[in-house]
Amino acid sequence: MRSFEEIEALAAEKKGGAKKLKALLAEHNLPKSEADLKKTGDDRWLSMFTRCVFQAGFSWKVIDQKWPGFEEAFEGFDVARLAFLPDEAFEALLKDTRIVRNGAKIKAVQDNAVFLRDLATEHGSAAAFFASYPVSDQIGLMDLMKKRGSRLGGTTGQLALRFMGKESFILTGDVVNALIRENVIDNDRMSKKNLSAAQAAFNDWKTTSGRSLNEISRILAFSVGTAH
């Protein structure tokens, strides 16, 4: 595994120089502080989980266009209300043209409301739980979201964390290929062994580079992406 300085130099070369790379990194917001994350309402976490679940395998543009309708149909994603969604309300949502009428994904909204409600019971708020969870163990958080949440495995949960402002990496195809190239992992299977190795590498690069997991993740992707 080469130093992150060398990987960053490779990414800069691919993207047309250090200035171009810096500009690309600046296109996305840096992670929020733990204090700011704690201030985020649990309804916003449910909203983002829902958005990422519905975007998975579907046109993001369509979901973006319909999102105001989602907010209305799910009444602002009130966690307490949606955790106890009655059958008649579920049936109504299946016919609601303001949203994408996918029964399994609509059911995931209720399941994730229950997940967030339980976290709030355990930690004061779901936001407090996510804010304080150590970034050095993102794979542990990913595993928890997969097991206790609904349809939050894979990149869906990772994207939700990133979009909410939680410092995180995203294991896209390019990032995984970079990890294979650096001999961090042997293949693209997201086994426990590979995930642990990836986490260790990200932690090491974070310590040695001083960069956030967000930046490290994107630089890895840029280092194998299309040349400028």
The b-or-e profile of 144-160 (16+ CB within 10 A means b, else e) is bbeeebbbbbebbbbbb
Flag residues of the chain having pLDDT under 50.
Answer: none
What pLDDT score does 227 carry? Answer: 65
| Residue 32 burial (CB count, 10 A) | 16
Which residues belong to CATH 1.10.340.30 in the chain?
A: 34-164
Which CATH superfamily includes the segment(s) 34-164?
Hypothetical protein; domain 2 (1.10.340.30)
Q: How many CA atoms lie within 13 A of 16 on its CB side?
A: 7
Measure the CA–CA gap between 101 and 216, rounded to whole angstroms: 37
What pLDDT score does 163 carry? Answer: 96
Report how far apart the first and last C-alpha atoms of the chain are (Å, whole number).
Answer: 24
What pLDDT score does 228 carry? Answer: 58
Decide: pTM greater than 0.85. Answer: yes
What pLDDT score does 102 carry? Answer: 95
What pLDDT score does 26 carry? Answer: 87
